[in-house]
Amino acid sequence: MLNHRTYATTRPFHSQSVEATVPGDGSASLPETDRTRRSSGISVSTRYTRDARISGVGAVLPSRTVTTAEVEERVGICERFGLERGWLEHVSGVRTRRWADPETLPSELAVAAARQALEAADVDPGLIDVVLFTGITRDFYEPATANVVADGVGAHHARALDLGNACNGLLDGLDVANLMIRAGHARRVLVATGERASVSINWKPTSREELMRSIAGLLLSDGGGAFVVEATDDPERGLRERTFLADPSKWRLALGGRSHPAEPCPRCDGVVDPRFSCDGVRLFSAVFALVPAALEEVMTRTGWTYSELDVAFCHEASGRYAETGLARLPEGRTIATKLWSTVERLGNTTTLSIPAAMVEAQAAGALAPGAKVLVLSSCAGISVAALTLVW
């Protein structure tokens, strides 16, 4: 019987973790792409393939701009609940948001953003190996909306699948794309999202308590976002490190799209309640119990100081959410000076918040080749994501 030994090295983004099973004779069973790199004895490659980088980013926003004053009036915040006019904008920091037409599908927004990303990356859609759709809202339960996106952009030979994790969906998709590329399963991955989040607003809260749990939904925006992720030989650019932390026990703090709701839904005969409900105070506390550790870990692994950052991007559930949260962090003041914020103008853009901000920053010259970037995001569930990259 052969004596097998296992060798492993681990470093999350920049150097791929690999396990190679080595029989007693010292030979190693490696992927075809790595066999030429094997030296004598038991030494093996510590990477399957190359590093990965975002080669193109895209984002689209509906043309309709809706003010917070309009939302207040429609909900009846002043008349029904006795709150002062302008209260919602004051507590949220959101002045406007974008909403799509009622007939617009999530896939349409994702396709538009994906086309932008493909053009920016100068990649033929036919060369895409995998399409990941990462939106919270989808065209239908089955098939995967990723199929519609792949067909829409012309990625007719790509593997297509949906991947979801609330507002962190796109970053989780980016992580999966990176792992696929490093494992040699793909060379080019399209990660796209399309959100019709405005359909989940509770327009008729029946009590002050229900109104408070509906506030987060009143800030939601629609749109599409996308990344093209490619293998790269350039050691100076690409994804560096990432940390994902979670506390699944907090899933009850934010809920949307519940199956078999207690009260029938007028849109779908009670099968699904699309209304979003959130305990914002407790969610904030739960998220920022994890954020400091995630930031410390990812920055330490990267080997950067916060002053070295060129630009930072953060999923902004609300203006006050990001502002108050950053103030809690030891390096929050430095991060705040680097933050490219969109929440005042765009509201809570859920899964497309990072690409929407990146497109703006790139157009303004703040996100340029070689820029050191920090990305921070959180979502219902709860999960926190922190990653670094060199643009």
pLDDT digits (tens, 9 = 90+) for 286-327: 999 999 999 999 999 999 999 999 999 999 988 887 788 888
Q: Tell whether 123 and 226 lie within a shared domain.
A: yes
Give me the pLDDT at residue 266, please.
52
The total domain count for the chain is 2
CATH number at 314 reads: 3.40.47.10
For residue 150, the surrounding DSSP H or E stretch is helix 145-153
Asked if residue 239 has pLDDT above 60, the reply is: yes
Give me the pLDDT at residue 151, please.
99
Query: CA-to-CA distance for 98 and 254, rounded, in angstroms?
Result: 22
Q: Are 268 and 87 in contact (CB under 8 A)?
A: no
Q: Tell whether 247 and 380 lie within a shared domain.
A: yes
Strand 188-195 with 130-133, pairing: parallel
Q: Tell whether 190 and 69 lie within a shared domain.
A: yes
Host domain of residue 185: 52-390
Asked if residue 81 has pLDDT above 60, the reply is: yes
Q: Tell whether 103 and 249 lie within a shared domain.
A: yes
- pLDDT tens sequence across 145-184: 999 999 999 999 999 999 999 999 999 999 999 999 999 9
Percent of the chain with pLDDT over 70: 83
Between these two residues, 269 and 318, which has the higher pLDDT value?
Answer: 318
Give me the pLDDT at residue 3, please.
37
Give me the pLDDT at residue 318, please.
86
Give me the pLDDT at residue 31, please.
38
Give me the pLDDT at residue 53, please.
97
Q: Tell whether 87 and 212 lie within a shared domain.
A: yes
Q: Are 262 and 275 in contact (CB under 8 A)?
A: no
Q: Tell whether 215 and 358 lie within a shared domain.
A: yes
Query: CA-to-CA distance for 365 and 239, rounded, in angstroms?
Result: 20
Asked if residue 2 has pLDDT above 70, the reply is: no
- pLDDT tens sequence across 14-44: 443 333 333 334 333 333 333 333 233 322 2
Q: Tell whether 253 and 379 lie within a shared domain.
A: yes
Q: Tell whether 18 and 104 lie within a shared domain.
A: no
Q: Tell whether 103 and 205 lie within a shared domain.
A: yes
Band of the pLDDT at 381, cuts 50, 70, 90? Answer: confident
The DSSP line for 165-217 is: BTBTHHHHHHHHHHHHHHTTS-SEEEEEEEE-GGGG--S---SHHHHHHHHHH
Q: Tell whether 22 and 168 lie within a shared domain.
A: no
- The tokens for 88 are 């919602």
The pTM of the full predicted model, rounded to 2 decimals, is: 0.84
Asked if residue 193 has pLDDT above 50, the reply is: yes
